Amino acid sequence: MPKSQYIEPKKMRQAGEVKFTPIPVNQYKKTVKQELAAKNFTKDDLKRIYHDMVVIREFETMLNLVKTTGAYNGVEYNNPGPAHLSAGQEAAAVGMAYMLTVDDFIFGSHRSHGEFIAKGLRSIELLDEKRLEKTMEEFFGGVTLDVVKKGFKGPVKELAKRFLIYGLMSEIFARETGFNKGLGGSMHAFFTPFGIYPNNAIVGGSGDIAVGAALYKKVNRKPGVVVANIGDASMACGPVWEGLMFAAMDQFNQLWEGDMKGGLPVIINIMNNQYGMGGQTRGETMGYDVAARIGAGVNPEQMHA
Ligand SMILES: Cc1ncc(C[n+]2csc(CCOP(=O)(O)OP(=O)(O)O)c2C)c(N)n1
Ligand SMILES: [Mg+2]
């Protein structure tokens, strides 16, 4: 109990109102032409965005065909493991990763292949060739790299893309050459050299783990922010609320001192596809109407929602 924060009964019991400010929703309406004209993006930026979206879609199309037909492009394969796909959510994944650096961490859900690939491609874009080569060579003694470099002649960044896709695919297929030796699989894949922290089979599991990672970054003065990519239905989960409350604690602003003053570097990114497993969130299983409303009650900044 901080003695410096005296709670004055008279003031606390004064009549008043709790006020909320409007939360903007669906404000982004620009076209590709407008973005180019405003010079917010170059043609190459936009091509990269589209490229990364297509890579994600094709990767998951491959998984879907393997699951449903036992083959992809004439190669037969049987994958008895899970694969929760995110067709239609590619833009959300690429947009999430677009401005991030390698120092920024992402955590995912049971449906996070897209975010994994988007963050991986973004990191490959940012890292220089030497560091990419070193990362691939040193990863598990180069077992993953050995497979992808066989017969490949091309730039290091292209090799790194093959490494990313193969490492994730092998992981989903429970192979030893996967990023986590096949022990994590679709829902627990990670590759920390690119700032990709684990996906999570526990719905909302990343909603509090990411807050812990943000606290780690803060108290150790590490650069970067942490993103929790979680589904709309996870907003009903207790751990997510614990994470939200922890991230918004007043003490960060009121009691922490010097360069430690201020909130945690965390972004709660709700991948809102309007459904959970047992129903639709809006109008049925939740009362929030719009997910961004949840931030409104958490602190006076409304979690910057
Ligand atoms: C704690 C927990 N409860 C229930 C489940 C079963 N489950 C798997 S996915 C899912 C729905 C998740 O919905 P949402 O968070 O909106 O993600 P989406 O599937 O829409 O991407 C549920 C309930 C689980 N994995 N973990
Ligand atoms: Mg959902």
Torsion sign across C-alpha atoms 248, 250, 252, 253: positive
Q: pTM of this prediction?
A: 0.97
pLDDT band at 230 (very low <50, low <70, confident <90, very high): very high
Q: What is the pLDDT of residue 298?
A: 96
- For ligand 2, the distance from its centroid to the CA atom of residue 235, given in whole angstroms, is 10
Nearest to 288 by CA among 229, 233, 227, 238: 233
pLDDT surpassing 90 at residue 1: no
Structure tokens at 176: 């030893």
For residue 201, report the distance from its CA to the centre of ligand 1, in Å.
Answer: 8
140 touches ligand 1 (CB under 6 Å): no
Q: What tens digit of pLDDT does each residue of 10-42 get?
A: 999 999 999 999 999 999 999 999 999 999 999
**What are the tens digits of pLDDT across the range 101-153?**
999 999 999 999 999 999 999 999 999 999 999 999 999 999 999 999 999 99
Residues with CB under 5 A from ligand 2 (ion): 231-233, 273, 275
Task: Give the number of the ligand closest to the Cα of residue 109.
Answer: 1
Q: How much distance in Å is there from the Cα of 264 to the middle of ligand 2?
A: 25
- Residue 236 Cβ inside 6 Å of ligand 1? The answer reads no
Give the per-residue pLDDT at 208.
97
CA of 240 to the centre of ligand 1 (A): 13
Rounded alpha-carbon distances, angstroms, from residue 270 to 167, 232, 238, 299:
26, 6, 15, 18
- From the list 123, 46, 118, the residue with the least C-alpha distance to 89 is 118
**pLDDT score, position 3:** 85
CA distances in angstroms from 53 to 26, 63, 124, 151, listed in the order given: 21, 16, 15, 27
**Is the CB of residue 121 less than 8 Å from the CB of residue 114?**
no
Name the β-bridge partners of 106. 196, 227
Condensed to tens digits (0 to 9), the pLDDT of residues 171-211 reads 999 999 999 999 999 999 999 999 999 999 999 999 999 99
Res 47: pLDDT: 97
Residue range 252-272: mean pLDDT, rounded: 96
CB 247 within 8 A of CB 214: yes
- Checking if the pLDDT of 273 tops 80, the result is yes
The set of long-range contacts for 127-134, using a CB threshold of 8 Å and a minimum separation of 24, is 127/102, 127/160, 129/155, 129/156, 129/157, 132/156, 132/157, 132/159, 132/160
Phi then psi for residue 139, to 5 deg, are -70, 115
In whole angstroms, what is the distance from residue 296 CA to residue 292 CA? 8
Confidence band, pLDDT 50/70/90 cuts, at residue 278: confident
- Say yes or no: CB of residue 285 within 6 Å of ligand 1: no
Asked if residue 162 has pLDDT above 80, the reply is yes
| Three-state secondary structure call for residue 71 | strand
Q: Are the C-beta atoms of residues 66 and 72 closer than 8 Å to each other?
A: yes
Residue 2 pLDDT class (50, 70, 90 cuts) = confident
pLDDT tens-digit readout, 45-61: 999 999 999 999 999 99
